[in-house]
Amino acid sequence: IDTSIQDSRYVIDREIHGSPVAAINDFDVVVIHQMPSAEVFNKITKPMILMLHGTPRDCMWGELYEKLGSYSQILNLVRDKRLVGFVTLWREHIDFWSAIVPKNKLFYVPAAVDLQAFKPDGPIHEFTPGWVGSPNIIFADAWRIDKNPFEILHAYRLFKNHVPNARLHMYCKPTDKPVWDKLMREIAQHRDDFFGEVNYVVKDLASVMRAADFLVTTSSIATRVVRECLAVGTPIV
């Protein structure tokens, strides 16, 4: 990173110094975590590496049902000679990506976790008074199409019949999908003692994980929430 670039619009974030987009070709390699605008992308002349953050299925589902165009976009990048590498963070996805990415360009790097932030010792979240359960259960995945909480909501409804003091706290809830509100009201039968905290964002997820008795997720691989919760030491279902 060229730390000599001084521009008030670019700040140091976790020891990484941001640089203006205009400087992108001053570097040797460009690593893409999400697609930039076409105007920026078309001007890149240096070799590029694409981080395949999404699951292969989510990329396809997003294109089929959410009009994101993500899978076709990856296919186009495979044909772009500037792309010299594609990196997946999960061994389970290699067979899926190897169907479209040349073997010599596909790499596996195990997903990491910040053990300074996500560790057993640290601040413990206090659930909102009146919404505390026994046990306190949390759901903290992004509500994307391949890991939304549809089954979990119904499973919790059955669980609540047997463990009436339980509370399900849900985070990262989207703001533009009112059908979730309708479903949750119906599942709760309009009871005030059914759910716990239901928020769109949570600033300190590690503290929430420490406060929970366990986390529920639809993921069966080491997604970010799985890695972070296990690093904190909280059980996962």
Residue linked to tokens 């999400």: 34
pLDDT tens by residue, 66-81: 888 889 999 999 999 9
Measured between alpha carbons, how far is 84 from 104 in angstroms, rounded to an integer?
A: 9
| The predicted structure's pLDDT at residue 9 | 57
pLDDT tens by residue, 198-210: 998 888 999 999 9
Task: Please tell me whether the peptide bond between 110 and the residue prior to it is cis, using omega within 30 degrees of 0.
Answer: no
Ranges of beta strands (E only) in 1-140 are 12-13, 16-17, 30-32, 48-52, 83-88, 106-108, 136-139
What residue type is 26 in one-letter code?
Answer: D
CB 108, CB 130: distance < 8 Å:
no
In this structure, of 19-28, 94-103, 112-121, the range with the lowest mean pLDDT score is: 19-28
Structure tokens, 101: 């990415």
* In the predicted structure, residue 3 carries a pLDDT above the cut 70: no
| The predicted structure's pLDDT at residue 78 | 96
Q: What is the DSSP letter of 215?
A: E
Q: Give percent of the chain above pLDDT 70.
A: 95
